[in-house]
Amino acid sequence: MMNKLEQAIRKTTGDGSLYSYDGERTSFIEEIEKMKVSHLMTKEELNKHKIIYPELKNSALVNSFREFRTSLTAISSRNVVMVTSIGDRSGVSFFARNLAASIAFDMAKTAMIVDCNGRKGCVHEVFSIGYKPGISDFISTKDIQVEDVIHESGVKRLRVLPFGQSGNDGDEIFSHPRFHSLMTQIKHQYSDRHIIIDAPPILKSADARILMDVCDQVVLVVPYGRDSSQDIQAAARVIGNQKFSGAIFNEFLN
């Protein structure tokens, strides 16, 4: 399964197919630079929350995420990537936020993290979202607009869509028509945006299987030595070949 991802990385590195000429890329950059940024995390804050940045001393980790990013963003129309796992505490949120951060390194791309982990999610804490509205509030309150639930992250070119404060985990939020409308809008609103869904475990959560309807690709995060090959194969079967982009063996469980 790792070989599939590695092959995809080799095939897409340096492809250059996303932009047909320099003028188009320059236009994207100019528009992206207009994104509001009222606060940027310091390196100390990034280190505290285990978010990568280009000057991080652990260059091997940064380069690994750059390679994953190159593979997963090669086709701009497949811009919604769900990150999931087999069991809890597998490092999904760590991988999701750093994949998004690595995409945001590129001045011609933007990224968004969508927290679909319900009350277990940590996105609002990592990015200091507090009690700002999110997915559940958008669904429960018709007066809330898309722009009301998308928030700054403290990282350039990276936005956050938190789970929100309304409702409960068992409220069938992800099968609601307004959730599908929300995802459609953020997918197509900006051609340069890549959306990373921080999702619950694929074998334990019905929500994760529902979320596959709104994603283009799925990445499986596997902690070293913890999940059996049978479980990995079972998860791959649930995801299906069309959307399964590979398994990432993770040494970091945060």
Domain boundaries, the chain: 2-12+41-250
The residue-averaged pLDDT of 62-85 equals 92
List the one residue out of 174, 230, 172, 168 whose CA is nearest residue 203: 230
158-161 and 80-85 strand pairing: unpaired
Q: What is the pLDDT of residues 221-233, one digit of tens each?
A: 998 878 899 999 9
Q: What is the pLDDT of residues 190-231, one digit of tens each?
A: 778 999 999 999 999 999 999 999 999 999 999 887 889 999
The residue-averaged pLDDT of 100-116 equals 94
Dist. CA 194–CA 186, nearest whole Å: 9
The percent of residues above 70 in pLDDT, for the chain, comes to 82
Residue 40, classed as helix, strand or coil, is: coil
Q: Is the dihedral of CA 175, 177, 182, 187 positive or negative?
A: positive
Considering the domain 2-12+41-250, what is its CATH architecture? Answer: 3-Layer(aba) Sandwich (3.40)
Q: Is the dihedral of CA 48, 163, 83, 18 positive or negative?
A: negative
The residue-averaged pLDDT of 124-143 equals 91
Residue 75 pLDDT grade (very low, low, confident, very high; cuts 50, 70, 90) = confident
Q: What is the pLDDT of residues 149-173, one digit of tens each?
A: 999 999 999 999 999 987 655 568 9
